Amino acid sequence: MTFTPTQKLYKTDSILRRTLRVSYPVDSGRLILRTENDWDEDIEPISTSPDGTTWTFELEADQPFLYFKPCLIDNDGFHWSTGPNKLVLMEDADKRISYPSFFSAAKGTFSELFEIPSKILNRTHRVRAYLPPGYNENTLSTYAVAFMQDGQNLFFPEEAFMGNEWQVDETGDTLAAMSVIEDCVFVGIYSDNRMQDYMRPGYEPYARSLAEEIVPEIQRRLRVGNKRRHRSVWGSSLGGVVSFYSVWQHPDVFGAAVCMSSTFSHKDNLIERVLNEEPPDVGFYLDSGWPGDNYEVTLGMAMALVSRGWQYGNSLFHMAFPYAEHDEKAWAVRLHLPLQFLNGAVARASRLDAPLLGEDPWARSAVAKTANG
């Protein structure tokens, strides 16, 4: 359990109340809550779902937020949930379920490096996934999924270009520990011939393979959301170009693209397509360094999207970073920004209440079902 100050710095004039739901496959025993109001006091549930998997608690606080821990009481004793204390905002509506684990490490796990055959490309894809903490224990949760290009540069320095990885797992775990994002499954697709697959015309069959072969296989293997809003495509440099193309070309499969330092218009016609085609219902995160990091074409793409109706801060986010280099170190430093844009607490709450992009918000499937009744 992490340290919590005993002297309150924040106080409301009245007592705030809200409910909180916690979901866990309890075979025997029961769930309770402990909070920073008194870490030794048990808070009992006020109701339990008919299937016995979701427990509803009523919370009170004289401050705008409250740190809490789900706890499991069973025949083996008393178990605190793993990981840092969880944060609940007292003025927030009860729309998101907490999915704790009690016996898993506070860090996530990696899948093996496995192969997905491609009839479209007449070869196999090499793929590795990072699964968030508690994935194998709390099987009630499903997750948003990020399909990421250049998988060899994402997780391990011994695989990455010049030994510099994106630190995807560390950044995702840190943001989840902060309660600023929900957990996400990251799928790294190792690049065998990026100079062919990530530029026109090669990105056309590659994107088809991603949409028609990789996505269905990941849906079969992993507990990820089955709506397009649960799926995003990520990449940097040429990888950003193929990510943009994949989402633009296959909006029925993907909801958003993250394009960092992308080489728009090097060997593609994507800006022209944005200016002249019927806009698909998708979102984009675009960024670059300056100078010498595809700054001008990234800014041009952002302006083209705005001219076609994309709304900054909701369906579009653009950032430029003075003196940032064109390398894995720079992309790792700012990785937290697109994670918050796509799956951040504030962005997620905004889309739950007023989704502008399609049939459901960018959230885990259980959350979407709850929000939509």
pLDDT band at 7 (very low <50, low <70, confident <90, very high): low
Q: How confident is the model over 237-288, as pLDDT tens digits?
A: 999 999 999 999 999 999 999 999 999 999 999 999 999 999 999 999 999 9
Residue 361 has pLDDT above 60, yes or no: no
Window from 9-13, 196-200, 258-262, 304-308 with minimum mean pLDDT:
9-13
Strands 184-189 and 123-131: antiparallel
State pTM to two decimals: 0.92
| Contacts for 49 with CB less than 8 Å, ≥ 6 apart | 55
Mean pLDDT confidence for 218-241: 96
Which pLDDT value is given to residue 353? 57
Mean pLDDT confidence for 214-242: 96
Mean pLDDT confidence for 169-189: 94
Q: Kindly report the length of the chain.
A: 373
Closest CA to 259 of 214, 213, 305, 206: 305
Task: Report all structural domains of the chain as residue ranges with CATH numbers, in order of start.
Answer: 16-89 (2.60.40.10), 109-371 (3.40.50.1820)
Mean pLDDT rounded to a whole number for the chain: 92
Q: How confident is the model over 63-77, as pLDDT tens digits?
A: 999 999 999 999 999
Which pLDDT value is given to residue 314? 85
Window from 66-80, 101-115, 342-356 with minimum mean pLDDT:
342-356
Q: For residue 356, what are its two tokens?
A: 């502008």
